[in-house]
Each structure stands twice: as C-alpha cells, then as structure tokens.
Structure 1
C-alpha cells in the first residue's frame, strides 16, 4: 500500500498531529457492512439510524449480510441498503462476504444491534479525510431500555440510562488517548463500531474466519502490521441494544479466544508462557544469506536457535532449487557448501530454506544478520527490549567498520516500515521516514554481545548440568544458613541469660546499699557485706 506524494506523518500512534477540521468537504465513499443473524426488530432500528446520518447518503453504501437467518431477513421499504446472503456461519465469514461487495474508500463495520447517533459516520469520516491509514473507533453505550417500534428522534431519551464501554474507555484513559506508545493499540479495533481505510484492509487481508472468537482483535493486529494508526472518536456515539456476549460470559469467552489468538498475535506475550514451543506467527524472523559459506552460516544460525528468545524463526535465502547433489564425488561438487547448509537445516522446523526472502507479514520484528556474525544468547532479547521500551522502528547494530565499508545488522519493526512506505515521498530513503514515524537507533554490536566466528553453544544438557550444580550449591548454602541461624539462636539465649543476671545483680546491689545505710557500726557493715556478697556470687552467676 502506498500513497502518491506521501501523507501526513504520525509518530507511533500519536494521531493528534493530524488535526482534522470540524467540518470537511465530503469526498470519500464509505461502505457500511452489517452482518446479521435474526433479530429483525433490532436491524430495522439500525437501518433507521443510518438513514438519519449527516454524512451524504450518495457517498454511503449500506450492505446487510444475512448470515443464515430463518426466516430470512428483509430490508424495510424504501431502504437504500442492499442484502447479501452468506451461507457460511460466523460473523467473520459474513463480514468478509460484505467486504467482497464493498466499493467504498472506507469500510465501516457495524453490528446489527448498534444504532448510530446522527453524526457518527461524519465524525469517523473527518479523520479518514485527514489521512489514508487510520482505524477509527466510536464510543458504544449499552442500553437495556425496551426496544421502540420506531426509532425516536431523541435517542438519549429513549436509551438512557446506558453504560459506557468500560474496557474501551479504560484503555483510552490509561494510554492518554492511545498516544503514549501503547503496547497494543490494535485492541481498539472492535467490529461493532470501527471504520478502516479500505486500502489498509486490502493490505492486511480479510477477517480470519477460521477463528472461533477474537476475529476483530486479530484483524486489528494485522492492520497494525500494515501501518495503521488507531483513533478513538468520542463524538462517534452509538447505542448497543442490550449486552454483548462478552459482557454475559467474559471468562468463558476469554478461555476460548485466548486458546486461538495466542498463535496469531505475538504482541500477546502474556499468553505465550511456554518457554520452548513454536507458534504460528513467531515474534521474530531472522533473515540470513544461506549462500555465504557453510561454517559462517552455521555459526550464525546455531547461535540464533540457541538464543534466549525461543519464539523465533530463521529464513535462509539461497538457490536451493538449483542443487543437484553429486553422490559419486560429493567433495568435488562446486555447490558443496550450499549442499551442506541445505542438508544441515533441511529438517529443522524453525528454519525455512527459501529461494527468495519470505517473511510472514504478521511477524512483528525482522532481524537481518550477515552470515558469520554470532549473537550472544541474550543479544536478541536486549534488542527487542530496547525497541519495545522506546517504540523504535529500526535498530542498526554496528558490527564492524573500515574505511571501505560498514558492516551492520538490522532489527526492523514491520509495522513501522509499513507506515513509512505509506507516507514516504517518491525517492525518499525509507530509513529516514522510519525515523519520523517511529525512531531509529544505532548501537554497537560488541556491547550487545555480537561477535564474529562460532562460539560455544550452551545446549539443553549443559544448561541442565549448570542448573543441577546451581541447585546443589543452593542446597549447601541453605544448610549452612540453617546452621548459622541455630548458632545465632544459641547466642541470643546466652545473651538473654546474661541480661537477666545483670538485672538481678543490680537489684541485689540496690538492696545491699539500703542495708549498709541502715547499719550503724563497722562490725555490722562488715557482716552485712560478707553475707550479701556470698549470696550474689553463689546464686546469680550464669553457668557455662
């Protein structure tokens, strides 16, 4: 997806630089897609709400998708909408059926139980006139009011009191309106009240109808990967007629959704708690030249596979389809190094041998690393932490520098490069645009653990031995600590006995002083002193 001559640049998700006008001259067409299953009474109200929109009717296309209703849904007399039938069950399939019929510049997803206030679509479209790579979400309010037969003019009087979309409002408030480098801005993409640039949808692809739940969020993630900016628009207000399924069964919905979206959305790292398993969409893909020599390629790839970032895949680019193994004289094969690389990694599940670069567009980060350069076990984890912490779109890793050349690796954030391609002017260096939309940082490879040549790979057995030794040392230290605690307890008891003896001795001395004061004669004093001192020395001195 590209825009001729470039477009206004948003850094991160800070859409405030766009400053759309309060009123714009409408030029863009919008396709409103409504998947529906039953509930004819609610659909009638939704269509009545669309008929009252302030955005021009001649620029608004309404597509209702009947998703197998029995009896079939019907359009009210005089409605400008058209009906599409989708036999495949599921809201995602229905939305895709409507999407296939849509002709607008903007796709507006709308549920069949969501009534828009009159200015809602206009509030969405003013943003789309400001930039061609936006996903705009309106504010839903959930009403339990009885359904009117005909939509009244005063929606507030008919549907209030109503509850806000608490989760959406909370997300927006926690992230300063989604502008402060939020981790998952795509979570704003909800199918009931979101509009998206049709070019973005084309770049990201349709909804994943293999998913049972979570399709809206998963598409939002792919839109993010395609360069989308996510905008909450409070003036695009709507009433949801009754609670959602999630509101009624949140824990059960999450249980089902999380089981599937973890495989497809790497940003949900908190769902990827297994330390070693593979996921459908890895968090990082490393691209390495597979034709750079067997030893160099193996040193790099083996180090990547031993990284503490296990959620990783490697693409080895080379002319693999041209190989013809000479089994009679393998040592004379001119492509021997290619044959060795191919044979060494052919059955490694995390390595793809490809004739040209092939990276899943849903992968959030791509590492481009010259063969022969070896990352340390924590190198990639540290680079990812830097990229996420500062919202960087590109990290350049300086590996070596001479008067003739600079050797570097690149960690690219796929979404940032996609955004840069959308807004770049013709002939402009893409890295310069990435600096504008996300940020670029140079780091020294040596400081991040990169080296040249093969290093020692710590495998599972070595890691197990190290862990066993650490556990044995921890047990020894625990025993020593227990012994010292017992000794300290003994010393505390001893000190307590001495403190008690000191108190009693002071008490005896005080008594003695009083008796001496009473004694009048020298013989009396001597007798008292002798008697008391014998008592103190024999009865109060601690033993041991």
Structure 2
C-alpha cells in the first residue's frame, strides 16, 4: 500500500488475531531514577507483544550508583552525558526491525507496544507515536495492576492534541508532520533510522524534532497511535519551561531544519542545511554564469548551487590559455571557486537533509521570484515533482524535486518502475510552463553579490513599508468600522426618536383635528345664532 503525503489512513494494520514477525528493540536512556525505571521495565514485561520478539536495551548514562536491571534486559554503559549520546549507544547494539524510543519515566499500558507493531507490519516506513498522559500521582513502590485507575486524573500531551486537532489527525493542513516525533514513546522502522542517521549529539535541545525531520526526508509517514497509551510520571521539562526551551532549541534547529522558515529571517546568511540545492551542469562560461548568478540573486537566498563538471581534469597550465579547449571550465572555476554558495562537484550527490533539488540546464535564466513561485506551487499542491517545460523543440525541462517524496518513492517502487511514477503515487507530479514562471533563454544582466544583497535589503525595506501600510490601513479600517458602528447606533437612536416623533406628531395632528372640529362647531353654532337673531 502506498501512502500519499502523510495520509496513513490508507494503511490497513492487521486486526484481531494475528501472527507478528517483526522484532522490536526498546531503547531506554536513563540517568538515576531507579524506582521509576523498575516500574517502566515491569510495564514492558506485561506487554501483549511477544517477549520473543522484544528486545529491551537500557543505557545507563553515567548514573551513580550504577543502575540495576533484570537479566532479560540488555544493559549498556554510556558515561558521556546527553540523551542523544545515550540513545545512539543503545542504537549501536539494537538488533530489532523496529526501534522504539522510550523515556525512563514513561509507563506503557499493556497493549501499547502491540499497537505500535501492528502499524509497522502494515508498512516499512512508519514513525508511530503513543498518546502520552502526564500524571501527578505519587510514584508507587510497585506497578499497579490497573494503571488508569492509579494514575488518573492525568493531563494529555496538550501540544500533540493541539497538533492533531489542527491537522485533521496529521493527514492535512501541515507540511511538517515530523513534529509528532517525540522521544518519550515513539517507534521507527530501523531501516528508516539507518537512512536518516543517528541522533545529532551536537544539539543541546530539539534532538527529537531534528531527528523527526531527517526521518521525514528519508520517506517516513508519521502515525499517531490513538490506542497506544502511556503515562509519564510527572510533568515534562517542556511543560515546566517551554519559553526558555524554545529559546535554546530554536537557536540550533534553525541551522538544521530548513522548513522552519520563520527561524530563517536574515536575507543573506548561509545555513548548514540549505532550503534548495540547484544542480547546474557546466556549459559555456557566459550561459552558465547567467544561470548561476540569477539563482544566487533570487528572492530565495537560501540556495546552494552545485555546479557539475570534470573539474578534476583541469591543470594549472599556463601556456596559451586562450587556446585551452577547457577554457570555459577554467573561467567558471576561477569565477566561483571562492563563493560559499557555489560548490564545484564532479557529480551532484544530494544531501538528503536538503528538502528541494532544482535541476536546471545552463543558459536558462530564472527570474528573481521564479524559484519562490515554484516552491509555492509544490507546497500548495503537495507535488513531489514539478516538471518545468522550458522549450518544446527541442524539449528541454527543469525539475524541482522534493527529496522526501523521492525517498518514499524509492522505498515503494516496484522493480523496473520509473521513480517518477512512484513519486506521482506518493506525492503527485505537476507541470509548469517555464515562460509563465519567469524563465528566459537569452543571457541577462544579472546583479553581482553586492547588488543582490542590496536588492534583497530593498525588498525587505519594501516589505516593511508594505507591512506598515497594511498596519495603517488595518487601523483605518478598524476606525471606520468603529465610526460605522457609532453611526449605526446613532441611526438606531434616530429611528427610535423618529418613531417617537411621528407618534407625537400624530397625536398633535389628532389634537389639532379635534380642535378644528370643535372650532368649526363653535363657529357654525355662532353663525346659526347670529342668523337666528337677525331673521325676523
């Protein structure tokens, strides 16, 4: 079964009686807390998933005195501090088909591990997370038979609950489903972990999210296992200190997670993992420079250009340089050798952490916002591949590839199947007209680095001016709405006053009519009397 995007609802985990075959390695990093660890291990011993297919690895992260574990647990000593380091030490000895991260203060309900593994038997590229609740109940001396009765009332993982509510259970409304990867109780296919690489030991905080991002780049689908429940003994560090934790983690993950665009607000600086890698085969000096310079001067500054060519064949030949048949390569190397955003490579070996790859032939020059518009098209439509038709005769294309879609497609592709067809199944393939998206064939006068910097700064200033104007107009709209509301209130008062006035006028008219009738009767009576008196 092929999952499109993160819509795991297409999968059919085995139900009812079943015969599992996959082994799972539960890796528990621990530092002190022997009393909680004993409960965690006892909860694992009660799991309904077969013990013969379950491996438990406890990594003692320098506890003093050392932690004690029963004989059925594989013990690893890791004196170097850090949860990422401890997890990697456990990962190094794990032998399971599935890796299940588990914190040393998280108790799994008896069916939790089985619920995870049912999902993993449905597809080989999943990351599954339990529904954790946080209990403030005292830590018991022995594990209760009924965990729910002992630890409720408890608080749900509010952040995860909010994420699932905002994204229809993580199947829509988010381009970052990897945020679900939390280390407290999450399992991942071991092949995915191998493809993504181990935990990043350089990070102080944010290791789970960064690992989740790399798993997504490796093709993972993220599943919230609603029937896999667990209890965390006490509140998490994030629940206690969210603001300072975000301050520290954001300082590090911004360099490693390009899809956190709001953390990359600087217009020109370079990052460890760029957002786009543009692959340009070296051609003539003029055409190649036009393409590369345009890419570097675009509104998406977070770009690395991989300029491919036989650079290893160049020698420092000083004789008759103008007659050198490789002169264009020599000029390109001389022009870009010291540009930090341009790499001269024999072939483009893609860094799997980079979310997008743009493949563009030399001589085709993108406009200032061409790359940004293509990225918007891919993101808005969920395309894993956007083919850009540059020329029909002969047919020339550019390609914008989403690395995670191609990684998933490589996992599910059938023998002999074109990878683009598999990408269409798991993410979708779109087409765009090059001219409509700002590509031109003729060489253009492209700005240099300094003018590009100024152009980006001016764009920022213009954006700031627009933001200020939007704020001013928003305030003016609010003022006018207030005035309209005031007028409506006054109009309502006027209508009420008008009704009252009409009533008063009507009453006065009625009184006037009565007076007129009375007056006429008196006049008529007087006339009659006069006439009567004057008649003989």
Report the TM range for the smaller structure's normalisation.
0.7 to 0.9
The alpha-carbon distance between structure 1 residues 467 and 219, as it changes in their structure 2 partners (threshold 3 A), is closer
SS of the equivalent of 1:230 reads strand
Contact 2:113 2:228 in 1 (8 A): yes
CA distance in 1, matches of 2:461, 2:312: 47
The alpha-carbon distance between structure 1 residues 469 and 287, as it changes in their structure 2 partners (threshold 3 A), is closer
Instruction: Check the 8 A contact 1:13/1:181 in 2, yes or no.
Output: no
Deviates more, 1:363-372 or 1:240-249: 240-249
Question: Is the aligned partner of 1:366 residue 2:363?
Answer: no
Residue in structure 1 matched with residue 512 of structure 2 by the alignment: none
Q: Is the 8 A contact 1:300 1:373 kept in 2?
A: yes
Other-structure match for 1:53? 47
Gaps of 5+ in 2: 467-536
Equivalent in the alignment of 2:177: 185
Q: Structure 1 residues 210, 470: CA separation in 2 closer, same or farther (over 3 Å shift)?
A: closer
Output the CA distance in 2 between the equivalents of 1:160 and 1:321: 67
What stretches of structure 1 of length at least 5 have no aligned partner?
A: 1-7, 475-544
**Offset of 1:464 from its aligned partner?**
8.9
Distance (whole Å) between structure 1 residues aligned to residue 343 and residue 457 of structure 2: 31
Q: Secondary structure at the match of 2:170?
A: coil
Corresponding residue number in structure 1 for 2:95: 103
1:264-298 deviation digits (Å, cap 9, x = unpaired): 001111111111111100000000102x1211110
- Residue 222 of structure 2 is matched in structure 1 by 230
Q: Is the 8 A contact 2:281 2:307 kept in 1?
A: yes
Alignment CA distance shift 1:22-1:467 (3 Å): closer
Pick one of 89, 98, 114 that aligns with 1:122: 114
Matched residues in 2 for 1:33 and 1:138: separation? 15
2:392 is matched with which residue? 401
Q: Aligned runs of 1:88-487 on 2, under 5 Å?
A: 88-290=80-282, 292-402=283-393, 405-458=394-447, 459-460=451-452, 463=455
Q: Secondary structure at the match of 2:183?
A: coil
Preserved CA contact (<8 Å) 2:134 2:233: yes
Kindly state the Cα deviation for residue 91 of structure 1 after the two structures are TM-superposed. 0.2
Cα distance in 2 between the residues matched to 1:464 and 1:155: 58
Structure 1 residues 71, 409: closer, same or farther in 2, change over 3 A? same
Deviation at 1:463, TM superposition (A): 3.6
Cα contact 1:374–1:450 (8 A) shared by 2: yes
**Post-superposition offset of 1:457:** 2.2
1:477 corresponds to: none
Could you tell me how far 1:456 is from its partner in structure 2?
A: 2.6
Which SS does the other structure have where 1:426 is aligned? coil
> Segments of 4+ in structure 1 off by > 3 A?
460-471
Separation of aligned partners in 1, 2:452 and 2:25: 55
State which drifts further: 442-451 or 318-327: 318-327
Question: Shift of the alpha carbon at 1:334?
Answer: 1.8
Take 2:5 and 2:456, find their aligned partners in 1: how far apart are those partners? 42
Q: Is the 8 A contact 2:166 2:173 kept in 1?
A: no
- Corresponding position of 2:532: none
Q: In structure 2, the residue corresponding to 1:11 is in which secondary structure?
A: coil
Deviation at 1:470, TM superposition (A): 8.6
Q: Give the drift of 1:320.
A: 0.9
SS in 1 for 2:254: helix
Measured in 2, the distance between the counterparts of 1:427 and 1:57 equals 39
CA RMSD, 1 decimal: 2.0
State TM-score, norm by structure 1. 0.83
Q: SS at the partner of 1:58? A: helix
Q: Distance in 2 between matches of 1:60 and 1:468?
A: 55
Distance (Å, rounded) in 1 between the aligned partners of 2:158 and 2:453: 49
| Cα 1:465–1:220 shift into 2, 3 Å | closer
Aligned length: 462
CA distance in 1, matches of 2:433, 2:363: 17
Give the equivalent residue in structure 2 for 1:74.
68
Match of 1:527? none
